[in-house]
Amino acid sequence: MFQILKLLQVASLSLFLCICIAYSHPAQAENDTLTAEIASPVDLAVKDTPDDGGGSLTLSWKPSPDDKEKIGDIDGYEIFRASRGDTTLKLITLVPDNTTSFTDTGLDNKEEYIYAIRAKNTPFYSPLDYSNFARPKINWFRTNRTNMLVLLLIFSASVLLYIRSAKGGKSLFIRKLAGLEAVEEAVGRATEMGKPVLFIPGISELDEIQTIAGLSILGRVARITAQYETPLVVPVLYPMALAAAGEVVKGAYLDSGKPDSFKPDMVRYVAGEQFAYVAAVNGIMLREKPAANVYMGAFYAESLLLAETGFAAGAIQIAGTANPEQLPFFIAACDYTLMGEELYAASAYLSKEPLMLGSLKGQDLIKILLVGCIILGVIFEVFQIGNGFFTKLFLEQ
């Protein structure tokens, strides 16, 4: 009888303890081996990860007093997770010591989650520190990109404003681009010599904006070669650029009223590898001896291989790229070079359409704005004014 009473006493005490633990924390860790040989991390907080599309929570905590600055003081921190309704906490990760935050991803936006953390220094574990419940949510705007949105809006507004004023008949001054003025001269020279014009639209795929800029210039060059009935050769590296360049050249010949002069083989797919392409194009330069070589688009290590061969072949050469590291090579080996933005401005410059020219003026306005920001930023940072406003505006966001 006494033993039964003692058993009942132990059982009720255990039940009481279980109820107390269950009410204080909704779930318990798996393989809980609590010891007090190592101090616990504290103030575990969990909140929705900002600027994301949901499914993620960010945890932060203050490190265990036993986690000193030296790496390897402890093994790290074990992080446990449970959703509301779970009976046990599940170990999700072990983060290294000196870590005070963790982002948990792949969560359900409809669920609420609770987290627990403990320090681990084998064979010891600290007591668990629990977080509050939190639910991940979808954020509808990346606040860390606000500065870019503002710049985009100002940029779009200035471009549209100038386009509108150009539509209204206001004449817009655009400085002369010698490289583009020389295109007609180069084609004329090729016509006089009875040699073809070689146009290379870069070695990037059609998803590269420089290739699109190059194709726009190709349209203009093809119109001139169509008028003069000068042979045109366009070797390409990517099949998608082949299709687009083919359409551009065909369109230019149709617009010039010379559809019969267009030959599908003018635009050729010559190779799918960078240096195989160089070998093929250099072969064209040395065999067919084009009188004018036009390089417009994205170029990489092959820029000088092509331009030097063209120079050796005695062709007049016009190049344009937005890759700054390739510009010195083109400047050294070509007669005219379009640098960076000039490549993108070429189609507007050549078309002389007010709508296109308006976008160039809008671009200039933003450039003035950025130059102003750079000057102000330098002054503010040098004289320590504004509490790092410009650094925050351009670097930290």
Residue numbers 308-347 binding another protein by CB under 8 A: 308-309, 322, 324-325, 327-329, 331-333, 339-345, 347
Report phi then psi at 50, rounded to 5.
-70, 155
Q: How far is the CB of 317 from another protein (least distance, A)?
A: 12
**Would you count residue 242 as binding another protein (CB under 8 A)?**
yes
Q: Site size for another protein, by CB under 8 A?
A: 91
Position 284, amino acid: I
Which among 116-124, 179-187, 365-373, 388-396 is the span making contact with another protein, rule CB under 8 A?
365-373
248 binds another protein (CB under 8 A): yes
Q: Are 165 and 359 in contact (CB under 8 A)?
A: no
Q: Write down the least CB distance from residue 363 to another protein, Å.
A: 4
Instruction: Considering the complex, state which of residue 41 and residue 310 has its C-beta at the smaller distance from another protein.
Output: 310
Question: Do the Cβ atoms of 204 and 210 come closer than 8 Å?
Answer: yes
Report the interhelical angle of 209-228 vs 178-193 (nearest 10°): 40
What is the length of the chain?
Answer: 397
Radius of gyration (C-alpha) of the chain in whole angstroms: 34
The stretch near another protein (CB under 8 A) out of 16-24, 83-91, 147-155, 189-197 is: 147-155
The token pair at 256 is: 């010039």
Calpha distance 148→308 (Å, rounded): 40
Using CB under 8 A as the binding rule, whether residue 111 contacts another protein is answered as: no
One of 136, 179, 219, 290 touching another protein (CB under 8 A): 219
Half-sphere exposure at residue 369, Cβ-oriented, CA atoms within 13 angstroms: 12
Q: Based on the shown chain and the rule CB under 8 A, indicate whether residue 378 belongs to the binding site for another protein.
A: no
Q: How far is the CB of 179 from another protein (least distance, A)?
A: 14
- Please say which residue, 27 or 266, places its beta carbon nearer to another protein: 266
User: Quick one: 42 or 375, whose CB is closer to another protein?
Assistant: 375
Is residue 370 a contact residue for another protein (CB under 8 A)? Answer: yes
Cβ 196 vs Cβ 232: under 8 Å = yes
- Is the four-CA dihedral 224, 228, 229, 230 of positive or negative sign? negative
Cβ 347 to another protein shortest distance, Å: 5
List the interface residues with another protein, window 222-241 (CB under 8 A): 238-240
Q: Binding another protein by CB under 8 A: which of 117, 186, 315, 360?
A: 360
Report the residue from 27, 305, 316, 319 that binds another protein according to the rule CB under 8 A. Answer: 305
The only residue of 36, 71, 149, 178 in contact with another protein, by rule CB under 8 A: 149
Q: At residue 221, what is the residue type?
A: V
Choice between 64 and 326, CB closer to another protein: 326
Is there a contact between 299 and 202 (Cβ–Cβ < 8 Å)? yes
Least distance in angstroms from the C-beta of 351 to another protein: 7
CA-CA distance, 119 to 193, in Å (whole number)? 81
Q: Helix 209-228 vs helix 341-351: angle between axes, to the nearest 10 degrees?
A: 40
Q: Minimum Å distance from CB 51 to another protein? A: 6
Rounded CA separation 72/275 (Å): 49
Q: Does 362 bind another protein (CB under 8 A)?
A: yes
Residues 215, 201: contact at Cβ < 8 Å? Answer: yes
